[in-house]
Structure formats: structure tokens, C-alpha cells
């Protein structure tokens, strides 16, 4: 692929396929968002948003545990030869509820010369915001989500639960007013690296997306200087898949997918077969994960107690109730052991192994496909992960996962292996 079609600071732009080991670290934010896009579940979860806002992410850097936890995490990642920090989530990173964390993340990555990739809807990505983030980290690419390039369609696609009062047109105009800024930023990164600073990301939403939407988006990508334009199908959320819903495409949607689909933005290619093509934000190497044959990453959610989750969109089935960094640090703080950078490192060593085990268990059960969100058997995968969590919570209640035990991490992984085998049998029977 021509370098000019690659985001400079992305899995493909950094050529992560030539590396093995922990290469990507993906953070998520809260679900707070300024839009309500058709097909997205974020706007219907106000209770979750309020809870996440109360929990916040400040504990990572406000001294609650006596150290800067965020710095400790990124030091660990840097020492592991990590290459890319990304933020992809169920909310908008630049809204007020999320941006303080993003700002700290950019400062911390910038100090370590770690490139960053931000996924955003672009409404708040104006000249001042880009300059502010650039002042914190000079190596940032933006993947901007737009589902239509038409002003008259914007409300019906990206503001679906808002009463029409003219705000939808002003919001679209705000985006258009940002085009010059995005074009300038993209050119500056292109001149410096030979690759792009801006890309567009669009979903084909069944029963909603039209060819007019997509052709207008193509024109936007051209107007921005022929920036990369990523078009993919939309995944199914856990809240739907656990109810047994199946993703279906009507004939027109299938036609648009055939014509416009470029595939997801998070894949890297390495090895010899299609089964070695993976989402670079998933643990651990190429399936069946028997060795680190390629790059891998994990997803960490600071707004859910510092849980790990198998996908940035899997916050509902993360490890919060039985394995979270915040719970671990609290226990260390209350004990004689105390909180140190090394404690954070030890937790992440176990986190990589735990997320790998759950991901492998899901693929062993449902079959390998590179993306968990778009997996053809997603309901089965999500049910399996939910069963694993239920069993691990029970084991924690029984005392098998005592954080104060000197063999805590060994106990977590041993019990997790047993829970995975049990959950797999239960789901196979259903």
C-alpha cells in the first residue's frame, strides 16, 4: 500500500506487522458523547455514563495511590518495546467528561515519544484543540468518524435521539468549518513523515446508509486532500448479542458493503495465511496464540475501575468485578505492601495473560475471525465471556482470588483457566 494511504501513527502506518510482542495499548473513555449516531448504543445508556463519570479516570494521575499510575503503565509499555497508544471507545474522547483524561494521556505519551491514535467524531477537533494536543504529543493521528457527508442527512444519521431544532445543521457546519484545520494538520504530518495525520472512518449502517451518504463522504476525503477513507460494517453491541439478536443485512446494504467496504482500521498483516490477519488491539499474536508470532495489544478501561476487556466495545463484559487495577491498587494501599510502579507492572503482566486466555477461549469456541465485534457468531462469544465473568465473580466471593495472597496472580490465572473450560462447556450445550 502507498504510504500516502496510511495514517502515520496507526498499526499499519507504523508497520507493526514486522514486530512480535506487545505493540499496542488501547485505552477507552466513558460513554459520554455529544452525538447519537444511528446504530450506536451510547446515547441510550445514560445511567452507565453517569456512573462512569462519577468513577472517572483521575485516579490514574491525581496521586490517589501515591504514584502517577498512568506514568507507571506507560513506562511498562515503553519498556516492553510498545509502539502505539490508541484511544478507541464507546464515547467521544474530546467531550468534557473525557478530555481531562485524554490530555493527561497525551502528556504522558508525549514525554515518552510514544505515538498516539485518537478516534473522534471531529466536532471538537478545531484549531485550538489540535494545537493543544500537538503541544502535548507531536506524534498523533486522528481517525474521524463521519457517517454521512450530507448536511440534510446529518440529523437522521448522527443525531437520531435529538429533537430537530437547527442544532443538527450547526453541528454539521462546525465539522465543515474544521475541514481547513484538518487539511493543514494532515499536510504537516504528511510533509514530515510521508504518511497521513487524518483519516475518515465510516460505517455502513443496515437500512440507513445510502449511496448518496457514501459518495458525499468520498468527496469529503478528497476535499481534505485525499486522506484515507475507511469504510466498514458496523458491529453488534453486547447488549444486543446477549439477547440473541443476529446481525442481518438487507439487499441494498449488502450491495453497499460489496462496493465500498475497505475492512476495519485495526488490522495488520503478517505471516502467510488469512488466519494470521488480526485486530491489532487483541491479545496475543496470531491465533491460536501459542507464541507471540506477531504484534498484539490489550484494551484497558480506566472508567470501569481499570478493567481489561477483549474489545474496546466490550465494556459490559470486562473484568471489573473480578480483576481490575483499581481494586488491586486499593488493596495494596491498605496493606503493608504499598503501591509502587512495580506493582502496576506485575498487574499488567497478568492482564496480558488473562486477556489472551479469554480471547483464545472465545475463538476456540466460535471459530477464528479477526474481529470480535463483527464475528459471525458474536452472540455465542459474548455469552461465553459473560459466563467466564460470572464464574470468576463466584470464585472471588469464595475467597479464591484474595488480592492479599502472595500468589494472587497465579491464582487468578489458574482459576481463569478453569472458568474458561467450564464456560465453554456450558455455552456449547446451549
Q: Please, are residues 74 and 302 in contact by the beta-carbon 8 Å criterion?
A: no
398 domain-assigned: no
**Peptide bond before 273: cis, by omega within 30 degrees of 0?**
no
157 domain-assigned: yes
Mean pLDDT by 10 residues, the chain (430 residues): 83 85 92 84 69 92 97 97 92 95 98 97 97 98 95 84 66 95 98 96 91 97 95 70 63 92 63 56 59 77 96 92 98 93 97 91 87 85 96 98 96 98 90
pLDDT of residue 270: 47
**Euclidean distance between CA atoms 368 and 234, whole angstroms:** 19
- Count of beta carbons in the 10 Å neighbourhood of residue 140: 22
| End-to-end C-alpha distance for the chain, whole angstroms | 44
Q: Please, are residues 413 and 350 in contact by the beta-carbon 8 Å criterion?
A: yes
214 domain-assigned: yes
**Euclidean distance between CA atoms 74 and 41, whole angstroms:** 30
407 domain-assigned: no
* Cell digits of residue 117: 491514535
pLDDT of residue 369: 78
Question: HSE (CB half, 13 Å, CA atoms) of 145?
Answer: 26
10 domain-assigned: yes
* Cell digits of residue 373: 465485534
Whether the model clears a pTM of 0.75, i.e. scores above it, the answer is: yes
364 domain-assigned: no
395 domain-assigned: no
At CA 182, angle to CA 208 and CA 259, rounded to 5? 35
Backbone angles phi, psi at 207, to 5 degrees: 75, 0
- Please state the domain count of the chain: 1
pLDDT of residue 271: 47
Nearest residue to 24 via CA among 80, 68, 105, 70: 80
184 domain-assigned: yes
Q: What is the DSSP letter of 23?
A: E
Could you list the residue range(s) of the whole structural domain that residue 264 is in?
A: 3-338
pLDDT of residue 169: 81
pLDDT of residue 421: 97
Give the CATH number of the domain where residue 18 resides.
3.20.20
Amino acid at each position: 500500500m502507498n504510504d500516502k494511504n496510511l495514517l502515520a501513527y496507526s498499526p499499519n502506518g507504523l508497520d507493526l506487522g514486522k514486530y512480535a510482542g506487545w505493540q499496542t495499548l488501547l485505552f477507552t473513555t466513558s460513554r459520554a458523547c455529544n452525538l447519537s449516531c444511528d446504530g450506536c448504543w451510547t446515547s441510550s445508556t445514560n445511567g452507565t455514563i453517569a456512573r462512569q463519570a462519577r468513577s472517572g479516570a483521575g485516579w490514574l494521575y491525581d496521586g490517589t495511590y501515591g504514584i502517577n499510575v498512568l506514568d507507571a503503565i506507560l513506562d511498562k509499555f515503553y519498556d516492553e518495546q510498545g509502539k502505539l497508544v490508541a484511544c478507541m471507545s464507546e464515547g467521544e474522547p474530546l467531550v468534557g467528561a473525557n478530555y481531562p483524561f485524554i490530555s493527561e494521556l497525551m502528556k504522558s505519551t508525549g514525554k515518552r515519544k510514544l505515538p498516539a491514535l485518537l478516534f473522534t467524531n471531529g466536532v471538537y477537533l478545531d484549531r485550538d484543540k489540535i494545537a493543544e494536543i500537538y503541544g502535548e504529543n507531536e506524534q498523533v493521528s486522528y481517525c474521524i468518524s463521519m457517517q454521512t457527508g450530507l448536511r440534510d442527512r446529518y440529523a437522521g444519521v448522527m443525531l437520531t435521539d435529538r429533537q430537530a431544532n437547527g442544532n443538527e445543521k450547526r453541528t454539521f457546519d462546525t465539522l465543515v468549518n474544521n475541514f481547513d484545520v484538518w487539511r493543514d494538520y494532515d499536510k504537516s504530518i504528511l510533509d514530515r513523515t510521508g504518511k497521513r495525520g487524518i483519516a475518515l472512518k465510516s460505517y455502513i449502517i443496515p437500512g440507513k446508509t445510502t449511496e448518496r451518504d457514501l459518495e458525499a463522504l468520498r468527496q469529503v476525503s478528497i476535499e481534505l486532500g485525499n486522506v484515507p477513507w475507511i469504510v466498514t460494517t458496523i458491529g453488534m453491541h453486547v447488549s444486543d448479542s446477549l439477547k440473541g439478536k443476529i446481525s442481518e443485512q438487507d439487499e441494498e446494504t449488502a450491495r453497499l458493503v460489496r462496493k465500498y467496504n475497505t475492512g476495519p482500521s485495526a488490522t495488520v498483516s503478517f505471516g502467510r495465511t488469512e488466519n494470521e490477519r488480526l485486530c491489532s488491539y487483541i491479545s496475543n499474536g496470531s491465533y491460536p496464540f501459542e507464541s507471540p508470532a506477531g504484534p498484539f495489544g490489550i484494551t484497558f478501561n480506566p472508567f470501569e475501575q481499570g478493567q481489561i476487556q477483549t474489545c474496546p466495545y466490550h465494556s459490559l463484559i470486562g473484568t471489573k468485578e473480578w480483576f481490575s487495577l483499581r481494586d488491586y491498587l486499593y488493596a495494596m494501599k491498605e496493606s503493608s505492601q504499598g503501591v509502587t510502579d512495580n506493582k502496576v507492572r506485575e498487574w499488567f503482566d497478568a492482564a496480558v495473560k488473562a486477556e489472551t486466555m479469554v480471547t483464545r477461549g472465545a475463538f476456540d469456541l466460535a471459530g477464528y475471525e479477526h474481529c470480535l465485534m463483527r464475528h459471525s457468531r458474536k452472540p455465542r462469544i459474548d455469552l461465553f465471556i459473560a459466563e467466564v465473568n460470572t464464574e470468576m465473580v463466584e470464585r472471588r466471593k469464595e475467597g479464591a482470588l484474595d488480592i492479599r495472597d502472595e500468589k494472587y496472580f497465579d491464582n487468578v490465572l489458574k482459576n481463569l483457566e478453569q472458568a474458561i473450560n467450564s464456560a465453554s462447556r456450558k455455552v456449547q450445550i446451549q
